[in-house]
Amino acid sequence: MSLPIQPPYLPMEAQQVAKLPRGDEWQYEPKWDGFRCIVFRDGDNVELQSKSAKPLTRYFPEVVAAMLELYPRGVDAGAGAGAQRQVRFVLDGEIVVPAGNALSFEDLLQRIHPAESRVRKLSVETPARFIAFDLLVDAHGKLLVDEPLATRRPALEQFAEAFTDPAKIQLSPATQDYETAQEWLTSLKTGFDGVVAKRLDLPYTTGERTGMKKIKRLRTADCVVGGFRYASKGKQVGSLLLGLYDDDGLLHHVGFTSSFKANEKQAVTEMLEPLAGGEGFSGRAPGGPSRWSTERSAQWIPLQPKLVVEVQYDHFSEGRFRHGTKLLRWRPDKEPRACTMGQVAPRAAR
């Protein structure tokens, strides 16, 4: 007997909203900082599939091994191939890489590497784990996607109780309490970056955004403008280079922002140019040209560390903002030395 659904199978997705929905029909779950993944186990075969229905199996051999080691409690994992072939299920969840008390998206990205030897090495040095939040096919091979979440979630919890080893996979928490969800959204000490709300009365709709809402935590930081780059053409500012001070008083380059409007660029340029010639960054400085930049776009102008901006960001890891940031406002009231790394301390994982 084969699984009733096979890869490629698109996961149910969430619509991004500005505010969490409220009501008895909603269940809330953390939005984990990892790779969305559907796990297909059919006996002694395991396949991992990404959000976009691409294969992930070769990149996470330790997750595959963990799935193959799942047996009902009380059954000896060494019972042989016959017992192994009887185990089948499909799980929806997230692959994450723990790093101390936090999650490391940078380590996760390193795993998408063409060399199998490199992947194997990293699977030992920075092992990933799977966090389950939905059960699409149960351990008896029964298809659950047409059942409402109010049925699927208890089935997942029963599966976790009967099958899972916390050292191998983890069950994502869930609540119907709105206040708890708000705490998840505002707390800094979490391993996730938002909250997902799911309708309890709806089935699992593959590839659709029906019945799921997500809201990301709003994160802001005050940063020193340690330098800037001109736009690729002309003599107007293209981006601001952002810095934060460490405990030793060194100003480290942590990212950039370029989200000002076109009609603001001239005024911003005129504000920046008189401050040119300062030391810029006394710690880590911006890099040179790369395959994504021209020689001109890689050149930057160091500034005296006198200007402060407040920016909104999605993620901070490995000493930098992972993506570009959104400029919210200038902060003439803020002392540059008060712009420290403490604002973006790593988030501890639950």
**Is 47 in a helix, a strand, or coil?**
strand
The most distant pair of C-alpha atoms in the chain lies apart, rounded to whole Å, by 76
| Proportion of the chain in helix, strand, coil states, percent, rounded to 5 | 25, 35, 45
Q: What residues contact residue 104 under an 8 Å CB cut-off, 6+ apart?
A: 97, 98, 126, 317, 318
How many Å separate Cα 8 from the centre of its chain? Answer: 22
CA distance 298 to 277: 17
CA distance 126 to 107: 7
Pairing of strands 308-313, 219-230: antiparallel
* Residue 285 CB-half CA count within 13 A: 14
Two tokens at 332?
A: 């003439």
The catalytic position among 31, 198, 213, 214 is 31
31 classed as catalytic? yes
Pairing of strands 169-171, 251-257: unpaired
C-alpha distances (whole Å) from 95 to each of 31, 92, 103, 108 are 12, 10, 11, 8
Let me know: does 257 contact 310? Beta carbons within 8 Å.
no
Identify whether 8 is preceded by a cis peptide bond (ω within 30 of 0): yes
Catalytic site residues? 31
